[in-house]
């Protein structure tokens, strides 16, 4: 299956309307889709080995989406095909008191992937222009200088925050970390179906949260917050990808395909072996062979 990933990419300055973006698979379900998923994971594993061995670049994968959009299952799928020693996964919940005593990007800086690693953010710094946009009272807890009340959390404040996020991402991409930003685009009907499964199936009760139901009531506000975030932060170097998420088999194939093409574009190579190391390798080989003589 050949997938044109550019059709899912948000172009810089593109005016967003998520209603016109598909939430269902845009390709027919092939009989060999499970095999395709396996092959994609094998390709990622091969690239990951080069990334880890080279130890100069890193990849940051950001997953955002409405509740029940499949962020956890997407991470589980990616992790099922890679060496876990080379991947760091971080889920960002409500900030702690320590985190609130720093700027909102601080805790995300701390979790950036090391050289040679793949980092996965389950939710990210974008929560500060998403959930904080829906619940601006959260901003007051950050104790930002000059932000004394909700009147100060205005258009100018949000414009500055988008600019800060762009600068943050520009800095880390310029210093060796390639960023992939995925929005798992779930329909409201599919979310309802998944929430009902969590209620009706005992083995999924642990996933249920009444807070998710409350947040569902703000669906349209979240949609607008996402649209603005994409318009303001999707750049040529650090673009957003809108991933249809109603069909998990397709979203997983599409996400891994984009990861593969991105890793390929990073031109990853194994470290060059110099003459001195070749000599040491040959000496070690001769010692090992001589053990059998």
Which two tokens mark 133? Answer: 């946009």
Residue with more model confidence, 279 or 14: 14
Quick one: pLDDT at residue 157?
98
Q: Tell me if 250 sits within 8 A of 25, measured CB to CB.
A: yes
State pLDDT tens for residues 138-164: 999 999 999 999 999 999 999 999 999
**% of the chain beyond a pLDDT of 70:** 98
Q: What distance in Å separates the CA atoms of residue 60 and residue 8, rounded to the nearest whole number?
A: 18
Q: Phi then psi for 216, rounded to 5 degrees?
A: -60, -30
Q: Which of 166, 55, 61, 174 is nearest to 111 (CA)?
A: 61
Lowest-confidence region among 71-80, 256-265, 276-285: 276-285
Please check the confidence at residue 1 and state whether its pLDDT lies above 90: no
Rounded to two decimals, the pTM is 0.93
Residue with more model confidence, 214 or 281: 214
Quick one: pLDDT at residue 29?
72
Which residue range forms the structural domain that includes residue 114?
5-290
Please check the confidence at residue 196 and state whether its pLDDT lies above 90: yes
Count of the separate structural domains present in the chain: 1
Q: Give the position of tokens 């991947």.
A: 87
Q: Which of 151, 148, 99, 156 is nearest to 127 (CA)?
A: 99
Q: Phi then psi for 173, rounded to 5 degrees?
A: -75, -35
Lowest-confidence region among 8-12, 190-194, 204-208, 284-288: 284-288
Residues 6+ apart with CB under 8 A from 116: 51, 52, 53, 54, 55, 56, 57, 58, 86
Average pLDDT over every residue of 116-131: 97
- For the chain, the C-alpha Rg in angstroms (whole number) is 22
Q: Tell me if 204 sits within 8 A of 198, measured CB to CB.
A: yes
DSSP of 237-280:
SS-EEEEE-SSHHHHHHHHHHHHHHHHHHTT--PPPP-HHHHHH
Q: What is the CATH number of the domain that holds 10?
A: 3.40.50.300
CA end-to-end span of the chain, whole Å?
A: 53
Q: Tell me if 100 sits within 8 A of 217, measured CB to CB.
A: no
**% of the chain beyond a pLDDT of 90:** 84
């Amino acid at each position: 299956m050949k997938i044109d990933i550019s059709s899912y990419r948000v172009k810089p300055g593109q005016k967003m309307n998520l209603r016109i973006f598909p939430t269902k698979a845009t390709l027919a379900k092939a009989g060999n889709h499970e095999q395709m998923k396996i092959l994609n994971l094998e390709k990622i594993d091969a690239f990951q080995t080069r990334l880890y061995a080279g130890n100069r670049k890193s990849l940051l994968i950001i997953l955002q989406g409405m509740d029940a959009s499949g962020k956890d299952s997407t991470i589980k799928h990616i992790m099922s095909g890679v060496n876990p020693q080379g991947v760091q996964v971080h889920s960002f919940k409500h900030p702690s008191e320590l985190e609130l005593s720093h700027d909102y990007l601080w805790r995300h800086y701390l979790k950036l992937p090391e050289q040679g690693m793949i980092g996965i953010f389950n939710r990210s710094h974008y929560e500060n222009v998403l959930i904080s946009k829906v619940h601006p009272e959260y901003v007051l807890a950050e104790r930002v200088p000059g932000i004394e009340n909700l009147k100060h959390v205005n258009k100018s404040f949000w414009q500055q925050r988008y600019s800060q996020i762009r600068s943050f991402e520009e800095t880390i991409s310029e210093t060796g970390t390639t960023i992939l930003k995925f929005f798992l685009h779930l329909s409201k009907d599919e979310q309802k179906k998944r929430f009902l499964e969590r209620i009706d199936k005992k083995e999924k009760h642990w996933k249920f949260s009444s807070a998710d139901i409350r947040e569902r009531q703000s669906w349209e506000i979240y949609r607008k917050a996402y649209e603005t975030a994409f318009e303001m932060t999707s750049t040529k170097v650090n673009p957003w990808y809108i991933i249809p998420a109603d069909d998990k088999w397709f979203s997983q194939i599409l996400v891994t395909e984009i990861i593969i093409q991105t890793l390929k574009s990073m031109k990853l190579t194994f470290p060059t072996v110099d003459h001195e190391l070749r000599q040491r390798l040959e000496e070690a080989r001769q010692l090992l062979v001589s053990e059998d003589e």
